[in-house]
Amino acid sequence: QVQLVESGGGLVQAGGSLRLSCAASGSIFSINRMGWYRQAPGEQRELVASITDGGTTNFADSVKGRFTISRDNAKNTVYLQMNSLKPEDTAVYYCNAGLIVALPTFRYLEVWGQGTLVTISS
């Protein structure tokens, strides 16, 4: 089985910073893409940022210039550095990965983490 575990969420004042981490574990053949989504109460889950195995990044317009995404392939870990945080960034942040497993056969899977709560106070 493959598991994504997020960490780094918490309560931060507006203007502050947080770094979220997501570590993938299990029998993973390769990870093609990792990203972060967020969902605020009453709102749809939205893509925040993603990064491919080739390093191509994508950001939501609302976080461009404030957030950065990076990954450590050796650790199967993706990071989301969040700066200049705003109250509207408050949400549960979910890690997502598109990856290949080899057992029981080669398959492409979409895997989600359990989410970590980020709360930005004003």
Predicted confidence (pLDDT) per residue in 84-101, tens digit: 999 999 999 999 999 999
pLDDT at 1: 85
Contact between residue 6 and residue 21 where contact means Cβ atoms under 8 Å apart: yes
Q: Is the pLDDT of residue 38 over 90?
A: yes
Contact between residue 4 and residue 24 where contact means Cβ atoms under 8 Å apart: yes
Pairing outcome for strands 67-72 and 57-59: unpaired
What is the overall mean pLDDT for the chain? 96
Predicted confidence (pLDDT) per residue in 8-28, tens digit: 999 999 999 999 999 999 999
- Count the residues in the chain: 122
Q: Which two tokens stand for residue 67?
A: 């957030």
- Mean pLDDT over residues 52-65, rounded? 96
* φ/ψ (deg, to 5) at 113: -85, 180
Contact between residue 86 and residue 14 where contact means Cβ atoms under 8 Å apart: yes
Pairing outcome for strands 116-121 and 10-13: parallel
Q: Is the pLDDT of residue 52 over 90?
A: yes
Helix and strand counts by DSSP (H, E) for the chain: 0, 11
Pairing outcome for strands 91-101 and 28-39: antiparallel
Q: Is the pLDDT of residue 5 over 90?
A: yes
